[in-house]
Amino acid sequence: MTFSSPLWRNRAFTRLWIAHVTSGAGTAVTNVALPLAAVLVLGATPAQMGLLAAAASLPNLLFGLVAGVWVDRVPRRPILVWSDLGRALLLLSIPAAAWLGQLSFSHIWLVAFAVGTLTVFFQIAAISVLPALVKKSQLIDANSKLSTSEAVIGIAGPAAAGGLVQLFSAPRTILLDALSYLLSALALKGLKEEEAQPATQRSDEEAAAAGFRSAAILIYKEVGEGINELLRTPLLRALTVTSSLGMLAGSISAAVQMLFLVDQLNFTPTVIGIVAACGGVGSLIGALLAGNLARVLQAGKTLVLGKLLWIAGSLLLAGADLTGFELAAAGVARALVGFGSAIYFVNQLSLRQAITSVRLLGRVTAARRFLLFGVATIGAFIGGALGETIGLRATLLTASAALLVELALLYLSRVRRAHIA
């Protein structure tokens, strides 16, 4: 990542990047600390871990479509700022409850669900605001820089989280994430003057005069516009179908992966942090190479390559303890998944941003997320149930099989030939 890029002279993008880095640092810690709190402090079962995984995706199913309309109708900066502040307060309740001796699985689940709800609004707003802040020709570069920073965080954050959990306990470690969201909110306050005003915003007088029924009809209509755009655009439709399979696979795997590392591989929190950091190394390399690979192979073929690497890592992780070198195998596996997912994500997101009107991007993103995270919610329940019945390794292999089907669809569809003009 070079700081000589013209993007760094764009104040709005720089502030968005700072917010991305600060909140991402805390999130990387909590992604390790929260499930470890459930496993180590509360002794969660595979079914309960499936419920916890579902908590993060269920809000997309319940609120995603409305969030897309909201993001397209109002300035996006306040949504970003208030989402950060809300997530900070929610996460603070975890260490507070632990200090009082009142921490329970239902509390962790409710916090995960509420944080997931605010994250729906934050992520849709962040994706929708980027094309208003940079030129279309800079989208891959911008997304690559954001993903590169996220990958750097992914190296240090999980490794630090594992050590912090072992030293101070999982609930206390979550304090860092709450602080990061506060810092992110401060950085995002500077977007006000830079952000393009959403085209569909209505004045307060118009909104008040519309009445409840008219407003409901209008929201229904605007949701329909986003769904229609997603379905009528062939490339968007193909990306949504293939990504749905990937989301199903990812949620099945996520439901049991922490238990697999703790129970099957006998990893300590520190070792789990190191393994997760290997994923960050892979993500960093992938984010750095995503733009160059797209220029050489075009975006579509880069998506196929990314998914192939992702599958290789998933299969290696499922058999890590069969190799005799559990730590090395798990580390390489996470690095492959990180590398493949980074080059896939950067190019897939840039494709969607390039072919979707900024006016509709919030609603199209919300419609897509509604479907994908609806699938993810189902996948989390499936993962928990499979973990209880067929075992942790077999569940991870089932997730890998779903990724293989996605790869076949990517290769056979128009996605493989897609490029950004």
Distance CA 43, CA 377 (A): 22
pLDDT at 53: 78
Full residue range of the structural domain in which residue 120 is found: 8-196+203-417
- Cβ contact 201:362 at 8 Å: no
Show Cβ contacts of residue 19 under 8 Å, excluding neighbours closer than 6 positions.
Answer: 80, 84, 184, 185, 187, 188
pLDDT at 2: 53
CA 129 to the chain's CA centroid: 17
**Is residue 63 domain-resident?**
yes
**Is residue 3 domain-resident?**
no
pTM of the predicted model as reported, rounded to 2 decimal places: 0.65
Q: Report the sign of the C-alpha dihedral through residues 154, 157, 160, 162, in that order.
A: negative
**Is residue 230 domain-resident?**
yes
| Tens-binned pLDDT, residue by residue, of the chain (421 aa) | 555 567 777 888 888 888 888 877 777 777 778 888 888 778 878 888 888 877 877 887 787 777 777 777 777 778 888 889 999 999 999 888 888 888 888 898 899 899 888 888 887 788 777 777 777 777 777 877 887 777 677 677 666 777 777 777 777 788 877 888 888 888 887 665 444 444 444 554 444 444 545 555 655 666 677 777 777 778 888 888 888 898 899 989 988 898 899 888 999 888 888 888 888 788 888 888 887 888 888 888 889 999 999 999 999 999 998 988 999 999 999 999 999 988 888 888 888 878 777 677 777 777 787 788 778 888 888 998 999 899 999 999 999 999 999 999 888 888 778 777 6
Distance CA 13, CA 6 (A): 10
Helices 204-232 + 358-389 axis angle, to 10: 60
Number of domains in the chain: 1
The CATH number that applies at residue 264 is 1.20.1250.20
pLDDT at 310: 94
**Is residue 2 domain-resident?**
no
Quickly count: other Cβ atoms within 10 Å of residue 213's Cβ: 8
**Is residue 41 domain-resident?**
yes
**Is residue 1 domain-resident?**
no
